[in-house]
């Protein structure tokens, strides 16, 4: 699975958009970009994933560059409850095998009032 690089921490004002970058320059053509987050000591929570196209769901938007070497997770209107560590994970879908997730250090997003 491709390695990812994320800034260790970011700040965002409440109500503003939070843009979290992820670099995955060695990504392969069959690898997806996944985002999870972990609010302090709670279980990680799935946010969104994508392959090539930009994706949006009720939680966030995922923008993947055309060359797929980087992506940005966007929380459109951050709230205090969005303060968490955000993990960008890249991996291929492998049917019938261990679906282990490899979490890096992630980005600690702090949403300030």
Q: How far apart are CA 87 and CA 25, in angstroms?
A: 16
Closest separation in Å from C-beta 34 to other proteins: 6
Question: E strands within 1-113?
Answer: 9-13, 18-23, 31-38, 45-50, 55-56, 61-64, 70-75, 84-92, 107-112
With CB under 8 A as the contact rule, the residue among 45, 56, 57, 65 that binds other proteins is 45
| Beta carbon of residue 97, minimum distance to other proteins (angstroms, whole number) | 8
Nearest to 89 by CA among 105, 111, 66, 67: 105
* Per-residue binder mask for other proteins (CB under 8 A), 77-96, x = binder: ------------x-x-xxxx
Using the rule CB under 8 A, is 34 a contact of other proteins?
Answer: yes
Q: Which of 8, 41, 58, 67 binds other proteins (CB under 8 A)?
A: 41
**Distances, alpha carbon 49 to alpha carbons 13, 15, 77, 105, in Å:** 25, 23, 19, 18
Among 7, 14, 23, 49, binds other proteins (CB under 8 A): 49
Binding site for other proteins (CB under 8 A): 32, 34, 41-46, 49, 89, 91, 93-96, 98-101, 103-105
């Amino acid at each position: 699975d491709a390695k990812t690089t994320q800034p260790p921490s970011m700040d965002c004002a409440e109500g503003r958009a939070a843009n979290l970058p992820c670099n995955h320059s060695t990504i392969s053509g069959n690898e997806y970009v996944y985002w999870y987050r972990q609010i302090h000591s709670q279980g990680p929570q799935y946010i969104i994933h994508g392959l090539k196209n930009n994706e949006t769901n009720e939680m966030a938007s995922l923008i993947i560059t055309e060359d797929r070497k980087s992506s940005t997770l966007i929380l459109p209107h951050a709230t205090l409850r969005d303060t968490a560590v955000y993990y960008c994970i890249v991996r291929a879908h492998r049917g019938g095998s261990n679906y282990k997730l490899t979490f890096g250090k992630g980005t600690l997003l702090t949403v300030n009032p």
